[in-house]
Structure 1
């Protein structure tokens, strides 16, 4: 779930499933000393080059997960493609630097600051005098006012995804000159820097019809280094061309083409030249790196006479892959009906592709549904948390890629952001003994399976004693009596049922039959999450299965089954093994990608699930709906907003509310860190690790790749001059 720089502030903090790109939202506002929040765990990897080293012109073909359904980032079905287009063609008052901190964009904004706090908060924006829309009109107060009106929530004719922040504005007016915009807030709003990024022209925001429909498939007026030239649905292309009215540094590229390519077909697309840049899954990394390292035929070897299959297996082993990986390659060839010759030709074509890697501004978590069942008991949720070795899980995913293996310590920020602080001490780390003690305190004791084994053991003991008394041998512990058997063995069940339910209504029933309201206002994020291939084999030292009131302690672990599932399949396997050690059984259900979030996570039909959240620059605004305490709605349903774990407290809500209204940055940081500690203690979600960001790029491209926190600089991307 999946990714990429600063995203739309219109969207709610999007769920990012684990196979594709997440739609990242703006990152945390910088404040305080340079040491606040530490440093990013991984920097950018974009092959930086000076502009004079880059050729003028060229067409860049960039793979995206899907054709955008809308060009309006403030609509519910906006996605990562929508955000990428907006970054290239529209103004943003603030963009993110490499440490994930908002910086004023000088192409649009000379200054922006709070000039009054009493009796009302007032922010004054001074605009760049050269900033104009593509129709020649000056960017000004009329555009700010139109966007505020459209997103304030006061006019129901506008179909907006959300109105956070804009609903706190009292008025927007022209300042002392044409280039000054004065924004007055009815209520204090600490995250004011999140607003008007991106900024749409009044042509889009000034009328409901233009907002709802006019900007879905075209943007007649824009103001960035590029402009939307055309959308070709048949070719699955969005073509961005140089904006002739752009006043900043001229774009090096003539065109950027966003081309829809499925994740599992991107290596082939890179090989056949249909794309130049693509986010890829870990499974493609070794293949691309090996092709580049060889520089020639991938399977050249002094040993002649080998079959193609043996050559492929030998290559896999030479480059660090396991036998199962080579076998999987061969099975894939058969399934896809491709000849090995075609595969080899593709590998040779990948010689000019390089893998750029960093860490995404997003983290993977284990979600625990606290609405019912065993996990409604906080002690059981804590036991699950204490069973996990988060360091081991981070190493499992990140170490093979050569990325830092540090577990994420916050729900609200990532290392490098000023709010970041490791709050996991509020819950504690792995402690198998503590986990078992918590389960016992909650009433979970040795279950029927364990009782049966004990009875079998007693019967064997009696038989051994009787035989020993009659024949003088067979005492307990000897090979033919006593303590033999399979004690301690417990196999976790796997359920491979796929749920293909259709899209649900807005109100649905949760796992206990109660109505809930899904207040998702943004898209589900990028498609898919990694689903496990199976369950882990039993390990020595595992606790026996537990039960309570005759019912076994078994948690439903729901995971998607889409392409690119290998890596997180291993994560799920390892979590399953860790839980088994403390006596918690899991029943794994693999469901379709389309059904996973809609029919399981959002509707509460799960106990355990893996999905990701992007980090936010403005967690007081963006994270509150994720951790807000579910409350009954007026119609009797349960309003969960985006809190799909359904775990929350009044204190957490109060801390977010206080952080949202304080204009003191140090005070806000302290309030948010306290909120994070309370979220850890509630144990509804357990952050695991920052997601890897892997981008395949042609070796002659510069200033593009794995961007990490930073917003891409589209005008500096391009092809290196030929030496």
Structure 2
């Protein structure tokens, strides 16, 4: 699950549960005086930067999105990532994030903003850009701030709001010394005050419950950004944005932006048809786009792809022989198969030719994938078992499996609350400890789970026992689901839309002694396991025992330790399947079995994660610029509701402690940046120690873009600057001309403009 942010702030995150007592946590490494634990982002934005002078005036950018949004009001519960993207283009964002994911003032709206008083109450004075006006000509001012505060304060339940964090701390809003000044007084100190009023809606939207609840769902009559909403076309599944004629900042280079809803597994076809200019894509599609581009700079040959690419000369000769042989039935069948293969190859070639006008721009999303451990009940309610699971994981190997094949930095995420480059980031994983299988087994033993104990066989175990002994140790035993390694279309073993950020990797080589470290990929795939071996053959003298030999399943009270691993099954889930398989193998080495269940995407969160019907799960969280506010409800301790149920909001792991809550509360009220960041890091180290969720890797961000499209692509931690996006003038393009012209002639995204 991943939420895209509006400006520096992501969509709401939420609330958490029970764990054993507070643990002693070692000091964080790398946080000494003079050090900057935040460091640099693992990957910067890849947007083909260009000066505005080199960009044509005009043109239409056709941008793929996941949905036509159900609402244009980002503060409603059903707002989605497209709602956020539209708000970034058409509404005031007082602050944005830079390439490090840190908050910076947006001068188009703010001349300055600062805390001018802290006693007896915190007071923030905003000085607005004197040119800032709504699209109807009215000045942006205190009335708009006050209307948004009243709507989001939580005091009037007639407003159907999804969040009110921060607004509930405001005591009053008033006009400052003139119309350009807004004075906000807080009843309680609020460190994340820069998160407020982004986006800022006009008082016409926020002024009444009716206008808030219904008026801004399908239209925004008043806006104040470089673009405005022209229409929402539900039949064509697209939203059209046009230049705002009253925009006072740098004029938008593009005349129009069309946000077109295209399913992820259909985007490669749309790109090859020339109906898109910009689209986030999966790894398989990225491989296709990359293969269609110019020759590699290193002079190497691009890998063979497409239908029939994996056929050897011997295969081709055999096919010809059968097609021209004396067996008429076999010949007819082979001729038909060859004809189908030729048609597929011709279609593939046409698509590749069309894709030559695009390139892949890649970075890392402002979100990370985690392993969630449900601590509500069952074996994982015991903190020792959760910690054993965490200590069994080789997070570096998991990050490499997903990111290394994409050419992205393959480093595991070290914080639950921030990403590398953000001000609050520090690697707090030392509070849990490094991967260590021996220590993991010791934790299990301390919790009463011991290897080789008596196990009551269920029906599933009896069926396995009746099978061939030669299947022992296969992927089917550990429930990993065994990701497929082959395809039927010759496209490197994956299908279009099937993989959102990884290639299928080989199995572990299984060699080496039990040193507590998981074997790494050798890059040669499963075949290496069986090469030169025969059933029952003796290993040469001195060969270490197989890694699995001492890893008998652990049991307690006659029951083996088996964890239900729930995964989504829809398009784009191959990455999670691969990662889950690797995790299952790592857990098997310490005696923990996994039972992988694949469920429909639509029911994954509602019926399994949110309801607590899982032991292990993989999903993603955003990392925002305001962790004290946005991350608190994800990790705070759940509280009983009035009806006796447990209110967990978005703490799907149900793991939380009073100490973590106290640290968040202190951070939210601490105005000094250094002190607040120290509190955030302490909270993160204790979240690590509780082992309710284990951050694995930052999500890959792969974007196909026309090669003549500038200032757009994989934005990474940076907020998009919509007015700077556009198509390069021909004089600013490379010597090969405009690759964008390979799209459909005269297409809106061709980059042609009246001014070029």
Task: Tell me the TM-score range normalised by the shorter chain.
Answer: 0.7 to 0.9
1:607-631 CA-to-partner distances (Å, cap 9, x unmatched) read 0000010101111101110001112
SS at match of 1:310: coil
1:449 Cα offset (Å): 7.4
Call closer, same or farther: CA 1:4–1:621 in 2, change over 3 Å: closer
Q: Give 1:332-347 correspondences, 5 Å limit.
A: 339-347=344-352
Name the SS of the counterpart of 1:173 in structure 2.
strand
- What TM-score do the two structures reach when normalised by structure 2? 0.78
Q: Measured at CA, do residues 404 and 532 of structure 1 come closer, stay the same or move farther in structure 2, by a change above 3 Å? A: closer
Residue number in structure 2 paired with 1:390: 395
Residues 1:654 and 2:662 aligned together: yes
CA–CA distance in structure 1, aligned partners of residues 503 and 639 of structure 2: 34
Q: Cα offset for 1:446?
A: 2.6
Q: CA deviation at 1:581?
A: 0.4
Distance in 2, matches of 1:717 and 1:307, equals 33
Using a 3 Å threshold, how does the CA distance of structure 1 residues 552 and 174 change in structure 2: closer, same or farther? same
1:45-444 matched pairs, under 5 angstroms: 45-293=46-294, 309-311=307-309, 339-444=344-449
Match of 2:547 in 1: 541
| Structure 1 range deviating more: 336-345 or 555-564 | 336-345
Distance in 1 of aligned mates of 2:351 and 2:254: 27
Superposed displacement of residue 634, structure 1: 1.7
Q: What SS is found at the alignment partner of 1:227?
A: strand
Instruction: After superposing the two structures, state which structure 1 stretch, 485-494 or 92-101, moved more.
Output: 485-494
Quickly say closer, same or farther: Cα 1:660–1:133, change in 2 above 3 A: same
Shift of 1:344: 2.1
Inter-partner Cα distance in structure 2 for 1:533 and 1:112 = 49
Instruction: Say whether residues 1:570 and 2:568 are aligned partners.
Output: no
Q: Find the counterpart in structure 1 of residue 518 from structure 2.
A: none
Aligned counterpart, 1:560: 568
CA distance in 2, matches of 1:262, 1:418: 35
1:635-646 equivalences under 5 Å are 635-646=643-654
Q: Distance in 2 between matches of 1:294 and 1:684?
A: 47
- Secondary structure of residue in 1 paired with 2:45: coil
CA distance in 1 between partners of 2:566 and 2:266 (Å): 26
For 2:341 and 2:224, the matched residues in 1 are separated by 45
Aligned positions, number: 621
The answer as to whether partners of 2:373 and 2:386 remain within 8 angstroms in 1 is yes
Instruction: Specify whether residues 347 and 176 from structure 1 end up closer, same or farther in structure 2 by C-alpha distance, changes over 3 A only.
Output: same
Q: 1:545 to 1:109 in 2, by over 3 A?
A: same
1:14 deviation in Å?
8.0
Counterparts in 2 of 1:530 and 1:384: CA distance versus 1, 3 Å: farther
CA distances 1:167-189 after superposition (whole Å, capped 9, x unpaired): 00000111110000000000000
Secondary structure of 1:392's aligned partner: helix
Q: Please report the RMSD computed on the Cα atoms of aligned residues, expressed in angstroms.
A: 3.1
Unaligned ranges ≥5, structure 1? 16-31, 316-332, 453-483, 497-526
Distance 1:213 1:141 in 2: 23
Provide the residue aligned with 1:715 in structure 2. 723
Cα 1:528/1:658, change in 2 over 3 Å: farther
Quote how far apart the aligned CAs of 1:494 are: 3.8
1:13 corresponds to 2:21: no
Tell me the CA shift for residue 342 of structure 1. Answer: 2.2
Contact 1:270 1:350 in 2 (8 A): yes
Q: Which structure 2 residues correspond to residues 380-529 of structure 1 after superposition, within 5 A?
A: 380-447=385-452, 492=477, 494=479
Where 2:221 maps in the other structure, the secondary structure is coil
Q: Classify 1:334/1:538 alpha carbon distance in 2 versus 1 (closer, same or farther; 3 Å).
A: farther
C-alpha change, 1:227 and 1:314, in structure 2 (3 Å) is: farther
TM (norm. structure 1) is 0.81
Q: Give me the whole-angstrom Cα distance separating, in 2, the residues matched to 1:670 and 1:437.
A: 32
Deviation of 1:534 after TM superposition, in Å, equals 12
Q: Say if 1:537 and 1:106 are closer, same or farther in 2 by CA, change over 3 A.
A: closer
2:14–2:649 Cα contact (<8 Å) kept: no
Q: Displacement, 1:537?
A: 8.7
Return the alpha-carbon distance in structure 1 between the equivalents of residues 193 and 341 of structure 2.
Answer: 51
Query: In structure 2, how many angstroms separate the alpha carbons of the residues matched to 1:421 and 1:692?
Result: 21
The answer to whether the 8 Å contact 2:307/2:341 transfers is no
Structure 2 CA distance for partners of 1:9 and 1:359, relative to 1, 3 Å: closer
Q: Is the 8 A contact 1:272 1:349 kept in 2?
A: yes
Secondary structure in structure 1 of the residue aligned to 2:427: coil
CA 1:272–1:119 in 2, change beyond 3 Å: closer, same or farther?
A: same
Residue 568 of structure 1, CA deviation:
2.5
| Contact 2:92–2:201 (CA under 8 A) maintained in structure 1 | yes
Distance 1:146 1:485, change over 3 A: closer
CA drift of 1:635 comes to 1.5
8 Å Cα contact 2:10/2:624 also seen in 1: no
| Residue matched to 2:595 | 587
Q: What is the CA–CA distance in structure 2 between the aligned matches of 1:237 and 1:451, rounded to whole Å?
A: 57
Rounded Cα–Cα distance in structure 2 between residues aligned with 1:448 and 1:663: 55
Q: Is the 8 Å Cα contact of residues 403 and 502 (structure 2) preserved in structure 1?
A: no
